[in-house]
Amino acid sequence: MREIARIYNKKILLYGSALLLGVFLTGCAPARQPQEQEALTRIVVADAPTTHHRNLYVAQEKGLFAKHGLEIEIIKLESLAAARDAVITGAADVFWSCPTIAIAAIAGGAPIRTIAQVKIPCTSVLLVPADSPIQDYGYLAGKTIAGISPSCEADKRAGGIFLKCGQK
């Protein structure tokens, strides 16, 4: 029995010494050099600035994208249609738009798709159920239609159509 205890104690002493030597040598090793900062993922955003896209610019100014590993380049364009076209032609990775421009482009066969709703609620689309008695803008005669911004493409387009139909 004493022989087993002696062998066991030798193993403990050997492993313990190896562990202490490893700890000591690690402490004497040169300091680890910081790794190079990982490259940021670059995304080009095409945008026709409106008050509704303010959070894009605030996030950029506050460094929120960089904090999450993104380098965002914002290309400011004159219209949402130009922003859409920038994505279709490959000049931009994504475009920021009210749904109207996107839905019309997709319905027209544009090779794009929606990946996220940017804000909730989304206030730029006018839709009715498929079986609704409202068939076109003319059915809205006498109704008051509210828009959220004179800079919103959907409001501009709808406003022009509503005026042609005698809407308020």
C-alpha to C-alpha distance for 136 and 154, rounded to whole angstroms: 16
Q: What is the mean pLDDT of the chain?
A: 67
pLDDT of residue 24 exceeding 80: no
Alpha carbon separation from 4 to 1, 8, 17, 18 (Å, rounded)? 5, 6, 20, 21
What average pLDDT does range 31-41 have in this prediction? Answer: 60
How are beta strands 70-76 and 41-47 bridged, if at all?
parallel
pLDDT band at 132 (very low <50, low <70, confident <90, very high): low
Q: What is the pLDDT of residues 117-130, one digit of tens each?
A: 666 655 544 555 45
Asked if residue 156 has pLDDT above 70, the reply is: no
DSSP string, 78-124: S-HHHHHHHHHTTS-SEEE--HHHHHHHHHTT-S-------SSS--S
pLDDT band at 21 (very low <50, low <70, confident <90, very high): very low
CB of 148 within 8 A of CB of 154? Answer: no
Structural domains in the chain, CATH included, are 41-107 (3.40.190.10)
How large is the average pLDDT for residues 134-144?
A: 62
Counting beta carbons within 10 angstroms of the beta carbon of residue 93, is it exposed (0 to 12), middle (13 to 18) or buried (19 or more)? middle
* Residue that wins the pLDDT comparison between 55 and 82: 82
In this prediction, residues 23-31 reach a mean pLDDT of 46
Give residue 12's Cα distance to chain centre.
Answer: 56
The residues facing 45 across adjacent strands are 74, 94
pLDDT band at 29 (very low <50, low <70, confident <90, very high): very low
pLDDT at residue 22 in the model: 44
pLDDT of 145 > 60? The answer is no
pLDDT of 13? 42
User: Sign of the CA dihedral 88, 91, 93, 99?
Assistant: negative
Identify the pLDDT of residue 61: 93
> CA 105, CA 153: separation in Å to the nearest integer?
14
Q: At what angle do helices 80-88 and 99-107 cross, to 10 degrees?
A: 50
